Structure 1
Amino acid sequence: MNMRTGLFTSATALAVAGTLVLTGCGSSTSDTNSGAASPGTSGKAVGADPSLAALVPADVKSSGKLIIATDAAYAPVEFKDDKGVIVGFDIDLVVAIAAKLGLKADVQNTDFTSIIPGLASKKYQLGMSSFTDTKEREATVDMVTYFSAGTSIAVKKGNPDKIDPNDLCGKKVAVQTGTVQADEIKDKRNPDCARAGKSTIPNDGDKFTLQTDVTSALVAGRDQAMLADSPVIDYAVKQSGQLEKIGSTYDTAPYGVVVAKGSDLTRAVQAAVQALMDDGTYKQILDKWGVAAGALDKSEVNAAKS
């Protein structure tokens, strides 16, 4: 997750690390951001579509709002600006989704790993936090696709440790807990290292609860590389001025809005996303955040290939 709004720059590694931490400070569920306003695509608010609003379950409709969980530490997709407001590509989009359905978006900041359990307990109605759509996730939740991203690798500028993106064996690699990148190290990269008779990535990766802490660990030199979603890596490279991307983006797959398994809300959300794609609002949001390369033209439910 990455994007603009509240651009941060620094001259030293320490300053950059501190700024990146502030971008997503805290993950308490008490940190909320009402999405009643326009997503700010071009100053034009998104209006309700009566035919889509009719798809909203009665209990949600009566509340007048969608309660959405996000981990606001994944710039530029979802993060906090310098005023502490939750912003980003995902946030603009979910505000627009809610508006299409005749609802207001109540965006709540929480730990990434608590979002899916929070849907199961009905604490939240949607999860909007750069979730890659996977078969494993689809076993417990519905995923409504809306964006395409892959995994990228970043290192310190100039690649002082001569990191090979195809061989991270024995290197200190930072990742966010609960992500597909953390799974990649544990399930693929380290077994491959062991089979090749090489040292594995220590501890199956240096894992952090917040992506901002992942980035800070690399900037400060505590880790030698980081794995994250491609828009996050691009944003970190641009904002820090002290990192660079190595290798190509790989394992491209769609992001999905997370909805409770079998919920009547799934169809409503998918229809709203498709309507935003069709009427141009979706493109305006992607252009605003500079992520148009990940645009999809069709939203699907549970479309994971692996």
Structure 2
Amino acid sequence: MFRISGGRRAALGVTGAALLALSLAGCGEKESTEQPGAGPSVTAAADSALAAKVPDAIKADGVIKVGTDSTYAPAEFLDADGKTVVGFDIELFNAVAQKLGLKAEYESAPFDAILPGVDSGKYEVGVSSFTINAERMKTVNMVSYFSAGTQWATKAGNPAKVDTENACGKKIAVQVGTVQLDDITARSKKCTDAGKPAITIDQYQAQSDATAAVVSGKNDAMLADSPVGAYAVKQSSGQLELLGDIYESAPYGYAVKKDQAAFAEVLKEAVTAVIADGTYQGALKKWGVEGGAITTPALNPTS
């Protein structure tokens, strides 16, 4: 997802996966057994020099309190137990925390509540596929660690004949608070400015619900972050397909409170360290998203 008030995303969490499985069963199709993320978790060795730089207020209890929206597979979603948050975002940030000699503890929250939670101090970091943009950097520090774009997805065969460049009159699903919501809103305005029907924009609190709405036919298509849309299509066993090319690629960022610039800088150094020791590439490869790898993280990048 890139998201905007958060900026991101799109994906299948447990709810979406369950709905999709039921749909597939009804069609007599076999669900894919290939599961990205299978196998042991990657781990990173602690770096004592970096650990020493973590502000005392952060490291006092030995944990980093993280807010995440666990509906966004394969980035962050609930495992089969319905409680454990997993995904490439989670695996990678676990390694970053380990590099600092700390443990990450995750609390699931609505996407658009995470950045306010970081700002208020409820969370020490927001890890939820947040696309870095100027609006977000007004309220939080952001450390880049991945790159993703937006891509559309629709039912296989595109029965609604959705044209990504002319979706006027179509019903499109997006997650609340995302960059994709801004994108489709602007596209709808172009439609009405040209005297064409507006796009019906259905907003869902969970990306998994947006995905399920396309599977069911309630919506004609959806917009989501590229790795999330690709994962949803792969997990649909042929019921969904990608539509058009990936566009507007931009970095994801870890969100840190505005007055915690020193901590944000240490996170940047920790990302650099896991890139250098190979843990970073291992985590992304495990989840099949190595195409979004970056080589150099940045604090509050402007472009």
Q: Same fold (TM over 0.5)?
A: yes
Aligned to 2:21: 10
Alpha-carbon separation, structure 1, partners of 2:278 and 2:39: 10
- Match in the other structure for 1:136: 135
**How much does 1:185 deviate?**
1.8
Alignment of 1:1-306 (within 5 A): 10=21, 12=23, 45-84=43-82, 85-186=84-185, 188-202=186-200, 205-241=201-237, 242-263=239-260, 264-305=262-303
State how far apart, in whole Å, the 2-side matches of 1:304 and 1:119 are.
Answer: 21
Answer whether contact 2:144 2:254 (CA < 8 A) is retained: yes
TM-score (norm 2): 0.87
Q: Is the contact between residue 11 and residue 229 of structure 2 (CA under 8 Å) also seen in structure 1? A: no
Shift of residue 215 of structure 1? Answer: 0.4
Assess, with a 3 A threshold, how the Cα gap between structure 1 residues 166 and 43 changes in structure 2: closer, same or farther. closer
Question: How well do the aligned residues superpose, as a CA RMSD in angstroms?
Answer: 2.3
How far, CA to CA, are the matches of 1:178 and 1:98 in structure 2? 27
User: SS where residue 210 of structure 2 aligns?
Assistant: helix
Q: Please tell me the residue identity of whatever aligns with 2:162.
A: I
On the 8 A contact 2:13/2:78 being kept in 1, the answer is: no
What is the identity, as a one-letter code, of the residue corresponding to 1:194? T
Deviation at 1:10, TM superposition (A): 3.1
Change (3 A) 1:4 1:282: farther
Runs of 5+ unmatched residues, structure 2 = 1-8, 28-36
Identity of paired residues, percent? 46
* One-letter identity of the residue aligned with 1:184: D
C-alpha displacement at 1:4, in angstroms?
10
TM-score (norm 1): 0.86
CA shift for structure 1 position 256: 0.4
What is the CA–CA distance in structure 2 between the aligned matches of 1:210 and 1:4, rounded to whole Å? 9
CA distance 1:124–1:43, shift in 2 (3 Å) = closer
**CA offsets per residue over residues 132-163 of structure 1, 9 Å max, x none?**
00111111111100111000000000100111
- Structure 1 segments, 4+ long, off by >2 Å, are 1-16, 39-45
Aligned residues: 280
Which residue of structure 2 aligns with residue 32 of structure 1?
none
1:224-246 superposed Cα distances (whole Å, 9 cap, x missing partner): 00000001110110101200001
What secondary structure sits across from 1:10 in the alignment? helix
Which structure has the higher relative contact order (CA within 8 Å, separation 6+)? Answer: 2
What is the identity, as a one-letter code, of the residue corresponding to 2:228? Answer: V
SS class of match (2:159): coil
